[in-house]
Amino acid sequence: MTAGSRFIVIGMIFNLSFCFVPAAFSAFHSGGVGSCQGCHNGGHGSENGMQTSTASASPLLRASDPSSICLNCHAGPGGPTSPSVFSFDGSALTPGGDFYWLTKTFTWNGGESPAASHGHNVVARDFGLEADPLRTLAPGGTYPSSALGCTSCHDPHGRSSKGTAQGGLPLAGSGSYGAIPAPGTEQGSYRMLGGAGYVSNGFSFTNPAPVARQNPALPFAESDTSHVDYGSGMSAWCGNCHNGILNSSHKAGGGFEHPVDEALGTELSGSYNSYLSSGNLNGINPTAFLQFVPFERGANDPQLLDPTSTNGPEASAVVTCLTCHRAHATAFPAAGRWDFDAPLLVDSHPTAGDSGVSGNDVNNSYYGRDITAEFGAMQGQFCEKCHSSGTP
C-alpha cells in the first residue's frame, strides 16, 4: 500500500464517522448554512473525540485543511452515482477527473509522466496530497500553489452574488447542476463555483461562474449521452487564476497556441459533426457529441442546455479550456482529456508494461473506452475532431 492510499483509507474511516449518503449531497450544499457540523466543530476545541486542528488553514475544521474536509465525503470508490473525486484506483470518472492520478507516476523506456503533472495539485494533507513541487504560482497568474485547494474554485457555502451572499433569496441550484430552481429561491452557481467577488486566500475573482448544466440523474458521471453541457463563460472563469494564459491565446511552448472563446464557424463545426475517427468522416450533427471534446453552445441560460444531448456544435459554438483539459486531474500530462504526447492514441501512456501502472489504470484513463476497439489502431489526436481537414 502506498503512502497516498494509506491516507485515503484513514480519510475514509474519518468520513464514516459523520458523513452522509450521496443522495443527501445536494441538500447539504443547498446554499444556506447546510449542516455546519459536517465540516466544523462548532465553537469548541473538540467534538465526538475529534480535536480541532490549530494548524488548519481555517479554524474549527474537522480536518487539517479545507480540501481534506471536502475529501472526507468526496473520496472513495468511483462510479456513476458516487460523489468521489479521489478514488482508490482511478474509478472516479467524473467530468472533472480524478485526483487519484496525482499519486501516479508512469515511466517507460525513454519517457516519464510525473504524478504532479497530471492536474491541479490541491493540498489535502490528511489524504497525502501536497502542493505542486515545481510551480509556486498558478500558470499565467499569481494564485499561490501552496494555497491551492478545493475551495480555491468551489464556494463551500454555495453563496451567490445575487442570493445569499447579499442576504437575498436562499439558493436551490447549487446542488442541482443547473436544474430549474424552486419558486422563491435563487439559482446557484454551477458546481458551486465561485462567482465574481468570491474571495479565496485573499484572492478575489473578477469573472462570474460559467453557465453549464449536468444531468442531475447522473451528476458524477460522464459519457456521450450524459455529460456537462457547457453554455458560456467557462474559459473566462478559468482566467480568474490563469489570466496570462487566457490573454496570450493559450501559448503552451514550442510556438503552439490555441484560441478560446472564438466561434468555431461553419468549417470547424462541420468537421466536428462529420468526424467519427481518423479517416472516417461519415458522422452527422445529431450524434456527433464526443465526451473527450466538449464545447460551449453559447447559451447564457442553463435551461437552454441539455446534458443528455448528443448534438454536435453549431457554427456559433466555441472552444473552451475544458475542451482539451479536465478541471481536476487525469492520467495524462497537463490534465489532458487524452495524451497530448501520443501521435496515435493507441500509444498513450499509461499503457500495460509502464512502471507505475496498476489495476485498471489503462482502462480508466480513457473512462472505460477502448480506444483501439472503438476508434481504430490508427486513431490520432482528438484535435482532429475539429481539425480533420487540416484547418488551422
Residues 364-384: tens digit of each pLDDT: 999 999 999 999 999 999 999
The arithmetic mean of pLDDT across residues 34-52, rounded, is: 58
Average pLDDT (206-212) is 93
- Name the more confident of 66 and 47: 66
pLDDT in tens, 115-144: 999 999 999 999 999 999 999 999 999 999
Kindly indicate the confidence band of residue 30, based on its pLDDT and cuts at 50, 70 and 90.
low
Bond from prior residue into 144 cis (ω within 30 degrees of 0)? no
Q: Which of 218, 139, 130, 113 is nearest to 176 (CA)?
A: 218
Q: Which of 10-19, 234-243, 252-261 has the highest mean pLDDT?
A: 234-243
Tell me, letter by letter, the H, E, C secondary structure of 224-239: CCCCCEEEECHHHHHH
**241: Cα within 13 Å, side-chain hemisphere:** 25
* Dist CA 273 CA 161 (whole Å): 37
User: What band does 22 get if pLDDT is binned at 50, 70 and 90?
Assistant: very low
* Cα 208–chain centre separation: 17
Q: What number is the average pLDDT over the span 289-316? A: 96
Lowest mean pLDDT among 240-244, 266-270, 290-294, 311-315: 240-244
Lowest mean pLDDT among 29-33, 235-239, 240-244, 351-355: 29-33
Confidence of residue 60 (pLDDT cuts 50, 70, 90): confident
Q: Is the pLDDT of residue 177 over 80?
A: no
pLDDT over threshold 50, residue 8:
no
Give the model's confidence band at 159: pLDDT under 50 very low, under 70 low, under 90 confident, else very high.
confident
For residue 184, what is its C-alpha cell? Answer: 422563491
Kind and range of the H or E run holding 3: helix 3-16
pLDDT at 219: 87
Burial (CB count <10 Å: 0-12, 13-18, 19+), residue 368 = exposed
Q: Which residues neighbour 239 within 8 Å (Cβ) at sequence distance 6 or greater?
A: 207, 245, 246, 247
Q: What is the pLDDT of residue 343?
A: 96
Residue 39 — very low, low, confident or very high, per pLDDT cuts 50/70/90?
Answer: confident
User: What mean pLDDT is predicted for residues 356-371?
Assistant: 98
The C-alpha cell of 291 is what? Answer: 465526451
**Contact status, residue 273 vs residue 313, Cβ threshold 8 Å:** yes
Helix axes 66-74, 3-16, angle to 10 degrees: 80
User: What confidence category does residue 178 fall into, taking pLDDT thresholds of 50, 70 and 90?
Assistant: low
Length of the chain: 392
- Residue 320 · residue 260 · CB < 8 Å: yes
Task: Write down the pTM of the prediction.
Answer: 0.88
